Chain A
Amino acid sequence: MALGLSLLQRLVGFAIVFFGVTFIIYFTVFSMPGDPIRALAGDRQLSQSVVDALNSRYLLDQPLWVQYTNYIGNLLTGDLGVDLRGRPVAGQLAARWPITIILALTAWTIQIILGLAVGIVSALKRGTVIDRGLLVISIGLSCIPVFVLGITAQIVFGVRLDWLPVAGIREGWPLAYLLPSLVIAMFGLASVSRLVRGSMIENLDADYVRTARAKGLGESRVIGLHVMRNSLIPTATFLATDLGFLLGGAVVIEGIFNLPGVGNLLFLAIRDHEATLVVGISTALIIIFLLTSLIVDALHALLDPRIRRG
């Protein structure tokens, strides 16, 4: 009963967030300055009848809420509409999202490996020079604007050392994705390693760890089996949220490394006032965001029996 109620509450919350965000996006995109029809025409002069026909074709002569209702109605049947050049939005998303997904998963994996390593070492060596040094390095990396990090990596590893391709996806996975993924991972390294370090330190002092030591377990078993398992709960939920963000596309990195992903597409769409495209991408982003938060909650309950029992 209580479970059903909270599930219902969640679903209603999801619906409100979904419709709220999509409506605000719809409203803001269509209130951007500039006339999309004129932008489409460029230098050509359009006769009034053509403008009227285009306006009514894209429902631009209708009030905003009619356009929005129409859009949501089409969305429910899987139709994301067409952009101003007549290309279907769904097709563009399908072409570009795989690249973003590959980039996100590669960066995410690197981030997990490095974050765990740095976090565990800092926790076990807490307060020492090693701990301080790792703190400064990891935070220092996250303080450099990501585009500076990206260009520097391109020059050093792509041009000077010629280890990895500078830009583009011609070399395919993993070569083409390694450099941008590393830059993204470096940027997120501090968050993950700080989190791992914090929760490990919290658990290292816990009573159950003292018990494990007292009963004569070896240090590797104490750390590996007892401390790690409990420390990974907050890290796991953070990593799930992080993957959600990464799947949304990295505008700057995709731009610098010339990866035709969805972040790049969103940026171009905003710049060119491609309203349906912006709304389509944003809608997909919201769905990813909502699914991620659902997965995070489920993960939390799954990993931590205290939460499951409520």
Chain B
Amino acid sequence: MADPQNQTPRTAKITVPKTMAIPTAARREGSWRRLVRRPLLWMGAVVLLVMGAFAVAPGPFAALFGNGDPRACDLADSAKRASAGHPFGFDVQGCDIWANAVYGAQSSLAVGFLATAIALLIALLLGTLAGMGGRAADWVVSRVTEVFLGFPFLLAAIVVLNMLGARNVLTVGVVLGVFGWPMMARLMRGSVRSVAKADHVLAARTMGLGTGRIMSRYVLPNAVQPVLLLATLTIGAVIVAESTLTYLGVGLSSPAISWGLQIAAGSRVFQSAPHVLVLPSVLLAMTVLAIVTIGEELRSVFDPRERS
């Protein structure tokens, strides 16, 4: 399925823990020990840390093999294979592939986190409104969610990016975020509704606490966990979506440096020079895999049904 919006992993099985027991020291220690015994989680974290380091300080990593300038390109080197100082060879423009891939981490991660932050914010607001705001608010929010779900994402992205005039990390991130919230909002709504029915919320109501206090102290902290986990998966999906948009020619555009741009450029010469495509694709897939694995592992650590 190629509609970028559809790439949000729809892991529908993130349910709210039914037990609302107070987290005692013993329980916390239990969770921590289960976390330690998850090698996949730590592998994911290490990969993500490395990519994070690429994004924050690309210079020293890019210079690892002696040619750290991603824009030092010579067309005479176009699509040449690996040579001394250039372990991954050159791309079509004759630029060093390793240096470009290291610098590309920044845009991809920035788009992923920015879009997810925007989507999460909208989802939390609308989901809470639908879950707590009564029937009318619920009805309206649900319809708005459906409008956004039903809207062809590609069309939205192209039109909005055209209107914004610039296709950079900021605008692409905003577009992906503004159209990426519906699944999270639905999850938040369901989560809020199920928590709002719990005994401790009823107790808080009986004690005469105000709605604001009940929401902020009793409902939201308990309802937000599954949505945050879906958000981690969304980061990965957004990074993939950015590269797909770029491939279609409507995402980031040069002179930006991103994995999506490199993969898109490489895919056009894949027959004659497959090595151009490999490194950025592998880095992108590893990053997304790391993020999604972390999300999956956290989910299963906190899911009481997974303990056998």
Q: Chain A residues near B10 (CB, 8 Å)?
A: 191, 238, 241
Q: In the bound complex, do residue B293 and residue A139 qualify as a contact, i.e. CB atoms below 8 Å apart?
A: yes
User: Which 7 A-B pairs rank lowest in CB-CB distance, beginning with the nearest?
Assistant: A198-B13, A252-B2, A143-B288, A289-B150, A250-B2, A28-B159, A143-B289
A9 vs B260: C-alpha distance in the bound complex, in angstroms? Answer: 44
- Contact (A20, B147) CB under 8 Å given A143-B285, A194-B13: yes
How many residues of B are counted as interface, with CB atoms below 8 angstroms from the partner's CB atoms?
52
Q: Chain A residues near B285 (CB, 8 Å)?
A: 140, 143-145, 148
Residue ID in chain B nearest A202 by CB atoms: B305
Q: In the bound complex, do residue B1 and residue A155 qualify as a contact, i.e. CB atoms below 8 Å apart?
A: no
Q: Chain A residues near B277 (CB, 8 Å)?
A: 148, 151
Q: Which of B135-181 contact A (CB under 8 A)?
A: 139, 142-143, 146-147, 149-152, 154-156, 158-159, 162-163
The answer to the question of A87 belonging to the interface, with a C-beta cut-off of 8 Å to chain B, is no
Choose one: B248, B264, B281, B292; the contact of A139 (CB below 8 Å): B292
Choose one: A140, A145, A201; the contact of B263 (CB below 8 Å): A145
Q: Chain A residues near B142 (CB, 8 Å)?
A: 13
User: What are 24 residue pairs bridging A and B, where the CB atoms are less than 8 Å apart in the complex?
Assistant: A13-B143, A28-B155, A31-B159, A136-B293, A139-B296, A143-B289, A145-B247, A145-B260, A145-B263, A145-B285, A147-B2, A159-B271, A187-B7, A191-B11, A205-B305, A238-B12, A251-B2, A251-B3, A252-B248, A254-B2, A263-B2, A263-B3, A266-B152, A289-B150
Q: Interface with B: A35-43, A55-63, A67-75, A278-286, which one?
A: A278-286
Min Cβ gap B3→A in Å is 6
Choose one: A136, A195, A282; the contact of B155 (CB below 8 Å): A282
Q: Which of B221-267 contact A (CB under 8 A)?
A: 236, 240, 243-244, 247-248, 260, 263-264, 267
- Contact (A144, B151) CB under 8 Å given A155-B271, A155-B274: no
Min Cβ gap A277→B in Å is 11
A242 vs B7: C-alpha distance in the bound complex, in angstroms? Answer: 11
- Contact (A250, B151) CB under 8 Å given A9-B139, A132-B40, A194-B13: no
What residues make up the interface of A, taking CB atoms closer than 8 Å to B? 9, 13, 16-17, 20-21, 24-25, 28-29, 31-33, 107, 126-127, 132, 135-136, 139-140, 142-148, 151, 155, 159, 184, 187-188, 190-191, 194-195, 198-199, 201-202, 205, 234, 238, 241-242, 245-246, 248, 250-255, 263, 266-267, 270, 278, 281-282, 285-286, 289-290, 293
Q: In the bound complex, do residue B147 and residue A21 qualify as a contact, i.e. CB atoms below 8 Å apart?
A: yes
A127 vs B243: C-alpha distance in the bound complex, in angstroms? Answer: 33
Interface majority SS on A: helix, strand, loop or mixed? helix
Q: In the bound complex, do residue B13 and residue A285 qualify as a contact, i.e. CB atoms below 8 Å apart?
A: no
Residue ID in chain A nearest B297 by CB atoms: A135
Q: In the bound complex, do residue B292 and residue A147 qualify as a contact, i.e. CB atoms below 8 Å apart?
A: no
Q: Chain A residues near B270 (CB, 8 Å)?
A: 151, 155
Choose one: B13, B155, B236, B263; the contact of A234 (CB below 8 Å): B13
A267 vs B146: C-alpha distance in the bound complex, in angstroms? Answer: 22
A32 vs B183: C-alpha distance in the bound complex, in angstroms? Answer: 28
A195 vs B12: C-alpha distance in the bound complex, in angstroms? Answer: 7
A16 vs B240: C-alpha distance in the bound complex, in angstroms? Answer: 32
Q: In the bound complex, do residue B155 and residue A29 qualify as a contact, i.e. CB atoms below 8 Å apart?
A: yes
A28 vs B76: C-alpha distance in the bound complex, in angstroms? Answer: 44
A213 vs B253: C-alpha distance in the bound complex, in angstroms? Answer: 60
The answer to the question of B308 belonging to the interface, with a C-beta cut-off of 8 Å to chain A, is yes
